[in-house]
Structure 1
Amino acid sequence: MTSNERLALVRAGLSARHRREKRFRFYGIAAIVLALGFVAMLFAMILSRGLPAFTQATFSLDVHFDPAIVKVDKKPVRSSEQSPAEYAKEISAWERKVTMVNWNKVIEAAVRNAAPETTANSREILSIVETNARFELRDMFVADPALLGKTVPVRMLASANADNWLKGNIDRSLPDAQQQLRDPARALADQLMAEGKIRNAFAWHIFTNVDSRSAPASAGLAGAFVGSLYMILVVIVLAVPIGVMSAVYLEEFAPKNRFTDLIEVNINNLAAVPSIVFGLLGAAVFINYFRLPLSAPLAGGLVLTLMTLPTVIIATRSALRAVPPSLRQAALGLGASKTQTVFHHVLPVTYPGILTATIIGVAQALGETAPLLLIGMNAFVAQVPATPLDQSSALPVQIFLWQGNENRNFFEARTSAAIIVLLGLMLTLNAIAIFLRSKLEKRA
């Protein structure tokens, strides 16, 4: 073979290798673009469906506290001769009388005053107003009895059915029998919307109210959000120190024998166990054996801690293995003990990796639903938990419950809004982790 033929053969081989390299780069870029496209599509779908739920049809009415309807005596005033118990009893009796007032009539009168020409009857008028509105008026009067006989502007939510109608979530061409509201109620809602007495306002109650079955339009995420925060706190307090110390011992101090090999294999196996298995374990151990309160954030946090521990241990051990051996040798050569070498020199270098492992584990735990369902956190809880021992729900479980609600026209958007809140919490945790990691890396 001549030199020219060998040169041509080499050039042909180089061209083939360059083409393969270009194809590999193309495939890599295409895979990244495709993955980002799917992520963008997911976020676009969630945002397009969830953002409308953050605004809700709201009445702006002038409410008259008519003495002919609100027939109650003046609020008792404590006399100097009354004991605290006697005064509390008198106040309680007065509040019971206030509760017995037909506040729906007050609401109906306010709506009729806003639309005097309406042909809707009492039931149809009240069908476009959220059922909690009567309790809001009652609480206003209890807080300020001087409202009797006065007319004050009040904002109250429209019902879920009225909100669906005004937002176009229901086909307006459907026959009357298939509509959620009767024809006079729909006409009244359209009229009040056109006159500006119903407006789409930001739904702050999504963040401040708890879930509600009797008043779905006022249902919120406050209870589930606080329950999730309690569970995250339990996971961070337990999983992080236990996981990090376990990884440090296994990697730096534990003897290499069959027993430690068995532990390492089991830790790797636990990381691949389905989350529902941890839910079964938590129900059997924490609920049935230790008798922890059912549907409590403490029980949920303990279950999620078991699920998060393998992730923290494996990631921490990987961070410890990445530390150069020269760092250990230098510390030992200067007279440091094994413990001083690990905790004063090796472990500080791994803080960014440990932090990343912690956030990954916590974010994974935050989005888990199956194990929480098995310990009863899918129960309806209409309160914000004051402590980790109180019953509560969690954000992923609340999403699961809203997705299965019978009023799909209303709760489909509300479910997407809850997903946005959950993603926002996870992105916030990741942002904090990135910030802290950058600070630790600069310090290191």
Structure 2
Amino acid sequence: MADIISRPTAPADDADAIRLKKIKDGLTRRHARERRFRAYGVAAIVAAIGFVVILFSMILYKGLPAFTQAELSLNVYFDPEVLSADEPPVQGEGQSAAEYQRAVLGWQRQVTMLNWNRLIEAAIIEAAPDAQVDTRSALSIVETSERFVLRDMFIENPGLLGQTVAVSLLASANADNWLKGNIDRSLPDSQQQLSADARALADRLLEEGKIRFAFAGHIFTNVDSRSAPASAGLAGAFVGSLYMMLVVIVLAVPIGVMSAVYLEEFAPKNRLTDLIEVNINNLAAVPSIVFGLLGAAVFINYFRLPLSAPLVGGLVLTLMTLPTIIIATRSALRAVPPSLRQAALGLGASKTQTVFHHVLPVTYPGILTATIIGVAQALGETAPLLLIGMNAFVAQIPGTPMDQSSALPVQIYLWQGNENRNFFEARTSAAIIVLLGLMLTLNAIAIFLRSRLERRN
């Protein structure tokens, strides 16, 4: 009797078992998909970090050697027979300051015309007295601009005449390439940058300790140079980039933030504001070279602003950065809870007081984030700067934003295309390191300010 009663329940048990099996199989597949998704996410993160590590490793590997450069330690004799110049002028009684200055400039021109290379040649021959090298080979291992170092020493202290002074002089770019192994030593003489005698002399002086590798501080203090590539530096481009970033921060940040505040908090919702929003979103996707064309047409051709000036570059980058700051600031304003606005209005605050005293302070971290994104994007731009002439060779540090200058991205572009690739390939990577260092410094300052504001809020 019990068997007869229990038999009808068997199909129900089978159905439950099948249903449980389907549920378990479904859970197993879902858990497997979740594990695969997590694995894909971890793999993507690892790949991204790996590519970043590879990029930075290559830049550091190629760029760090450029921060050291070969220098010759020579004993230079300021030979009176070579330096046959007049005595430096002394201001006499009744002589005006202008007349004295004219006499000093005339004496300095006379000193500049002296054969300073003969002093360097004599010092090299003294360092290696039994070396069989001609004048050209001896001078080829020293940078051509180093003769002006001796000239400036003598102008500053004419009492050096007839004395021997220990001086460190930069090795030439070709000698630096040879000593660092940037050139295949097995190549024939016809493919070498230095003569056989010059190469042998450089190796000998390095072995005897009269050539050493020292920190190349002139990369940060000198401007670019075509006649003396070993002494080329980033000072002019660095200052030009700082001026441009100053213009971008002063113009783009307040204009962008105020535009975002008006569009988000005060502007009526109509076709005109919709059109403005669409255009702002479209401008954020416009290629940077188009902004360069706009800057060349408007700021240079129409307003007649100086070519290659950091002010023009800053204005062009401001136009390019504004959409990014406006969009990011509006997103930060939308993230503010409506209850904050309603509470302020309920307590009697006006619309303006609500926005500027309650809503806007909460969005300061987001605004700084937008500023970081915009400034970092502007700092690395090259194409718009090329179109406004900042790729011109400027051998001076700009004193004001109106002076002609270069910029770090443009300097990297110019050095990358230099014909002396063996030397400037490392210099290019070194310039990239400086640019990344400047960008990381600006970002670190902004992140620090953002964290302070977040704690205060």
TM-score bracket, shorter-length normalisation: over 0.9
Pairwise CA distance, 1:329: 0.5
Alpha-carbon distance in structure 1 between the residues aligned to 2:295 and 2:110: 47
Q: Is 1:307 the equivalent of 2:317?
A: no
4+ residue segments displaced more than 4 Å: none
Hey, what does 2:66 align to over in structure 1?
A: 53
Alpha-carbon distance in structure 2 between the residues aligned to 1:18 and 1:240: 47
CA deviation vs aligned residue, 1:394-441 (integer Å, no higher than 9, x gap): 000000000000000000000000000001111111111211111110
Hey, what does 2:108 align to over in structure 1?
A: 95
Alpha-carbon distance in structure 1 between the residues aligned to 2:80 and 2:101: 25
For 2:130, what is the secondary structure of its paired residue? coil
Q: Please tell me the residue identity of whatever aligns with 1:336.
A: A
Of 306, 320, 323, the match for 1:293 = 306
Hey, what does 1:267 align to over in structure 2?
A: 280
Hey, what does 2:39 align to over in structure 1?
A: 26
Q: Is 1:255 the equivalent of 2:268?
A: yes
Hey, what does 1:228 align to over in structure 2?
A: 241
Alpha-carbon distance in structure 2 between the residues aligned to 1:81 and 1:311: 65
Pairwise CA distance, 1:34: 0.4
Q: Is 1:128 the equivalent of 2:138?
A: no
Most deviating of 59-68 and 316-325 = 59-68
For 1:298, what is the secondary structure of its paired residue? helix
Hey, what does 2:402 align to over in structure 1?
A: 389
Q: Is 1:35 the equivalent of 2:54?
A: no
Pairwise CA distance, 1:218: 0.1
For 2:90, what is the secondary structure of its paired residue? coil
- In the TM superposition, 1:170-185 aligns within 5 A as 170-185=183-198
Hey, what does 1:361 align to over in structure 2?
A: 374
Pairwise CA distance, 1:3: 2.0
Alpha-carbon distance in structure 1 between the residues aligned to 2:310 and 2:80: 47
Q: Please tell me the residue identity of whatever aligns with 1:368.
A: E
Pairwise CA distance, 1:100: 1.3
Alpha-carbon distance in structure 2 between the residues aligned to 1:92 and 1:319: 61
Q: Please tell me the residue identity of whatever aligns with 2:226.
A: R
Hey, what does 2:6 align to over in structure 1?
A: none
Alpha-carbon distance in structure 1 between the residues aligned to 2:246 and 2:61: 32
Hey, what does 1:154 align to over in structure 2?
A: 167
Q: Is 1:436 the equivalent of 2:422?
A: no
Q: Is 1:4 the equivalent of 2:17?
A: yes
Hey, what does 2:7 align to over in structure 1?
A: none
Pairwise CA distance, 1:80: 2.0
Q: Please tell me the residue identity of whatever aligns with 1:282.
A: G
Alpha-carbon distance in structure 2 between the residues aligned to 1:376 and 1:167: 35
Q: Please tell me the residue identity of whatever aligns with 2:23.
A: V
Q: Please tell me the residue identity of whatever aligns with 2:441.
A: T
Pairwise CA distance, 1:87: 1.1
Alpha-carbon distance in structure 1 between the residues aligned to 2:136 and 2:166: 23
Of 372, 378, 400, the match for 2:391 = 378
For 1:277, what is the secondary structure of its paired residue? helix
Of 394, 417, 429, the match for 1:404 = 417
Alpha-carbon distance in structure 2 between the residues aligned to 1:246 and 1:174: 63
Alpha-carbon distance in structure 2 between the residues aligned to 1:138 and 1:322: 65
CA deviation vs aligned residue, 1:125-153 (integer Å, no higher than 9, x gap): 11110001111100110000010011111
Alpha-carbon distance in structure 2 between the residues aligned to 1:217 and 1:18: 62
Of 201, 205, 230, the match for 1:188 = 201
Identity of aligned residues (%): 79
Pairwise CA distance, 1:73: 2.2
For 2:168, what is the secondary structure of its paired residue? strand
Pairwise CA distance, 1:77: 1.3
For 2:144, what is the secondary structure of its paired residue? coil
Pairwise CA distance, 1:81: 2.2
Most deviating of 264-273 and 423-432 = 423-432
For 2:131, what is the secondary structure of its paired residue? coil
Of 146, 153, 160, the match for 1:140 = 153
Alpha-carbon distance in structure 2 between the residues aligned to 1:34 and 1:228: 32
Hey, what does 2:8 align to over in structure 1?
A: none
Q: Is 1:14 the equivalent of 2:2?
A: no
CA deviation vs aligned residue, 1:214-270 (integer Å, no higher than 9, x gap): 000000000000000000000000000000000000000000001000000000000
Hey, what does 1:65 align to over in structure 2?
A: 78
Q: Is 1:415 the equivalent of 2:428?
A: yes
Of 99, 102, 123, the match for 1:110 = 123
Hey, what does 1:244 align to over in structure 2?
A: 257
Pairwise CA distance, 1:4: 2.2
Alpha-carbon distance in structure 1 between the residues aligned to 2:162 and 2:228: 28
Alpha-carbon distance in structure 2 between the residues aligned to 1:71 and 1:118: 28
CA deviation vs aligned residue, 1:45-69 (integer Å, no higher than 9, x gap): 1000000000000111111101111
Pairwise CA distance, 1:88: 1.3
Alpha-carbon distance in structure 1 between the residues aligned to 2:103 and 2:354: 71
Alpha-carbon distance in structure 2 between the residues aligned to 1:44 and 1:190: 30
Q: Please tell me the residue identity of whatever aligns with 1:263.
A: I
For 1:80, what is the secondary structure of its paired residue? coil
Pairwise CA distance, 1:178: 0.6
Of 189, 200, 204, the match for 2:213 = 200
Pairwise CA distance, 1:75: 1.2
Alpha-carbon distance in structure 2 between the residues aligned to 1:203 and 1:428: 22
For 1:2, what is the secondary structure of its paired residue? helix
Q: Please tell me the residue identity of whatever aligns with 2:403.
A: D
Alpha-carbon distance in structure 2 between the residues aligned to 1:149 and 1:23: 81
Hey, what does 1:328 align to over in structure 2?
A: 341
Alpha-carbon distance in structure 1 between the residues aligned to 2:16 and 2:380: 65
Q: Which has the larger radius of gyration?
A: 2
Q: Please tell me the residue identity of whatever aligns with 1:64.
A: Y
- Figure out how many residues of one structure are paired with residues of the other and give that number: 444
**TM-score, structure 2 length as denominator?**
0.96
Alpha-carbon distance in structure 2 between the residues aligned to 1:81 and 1:148: 29
CA deviation vs aligned residue, 1:334-361 (integer Å, no higher than 9, x gap): 1100000000000000000000100110
Q: Please tell me the residue identity of whatever aligns with 1:256.
A: K
Alpha-carbon distance in structure 2 between the residues aligned to 1:350 and 1:69: 70
Alpha-carbon distance in structure 2 between the residues aligned to 1:120 and 1:23: 70
Q: Is 1:119 the equivalent of 2:132?
A: yes
CA deviation vs aligned residue, 1:278-302 (integer Å, no higher than 9, x gap): 0000000000000000000000000
Most deviating of 303-312 and 87-96 = 87-96
Gaps of 5+ in 2: 1-13
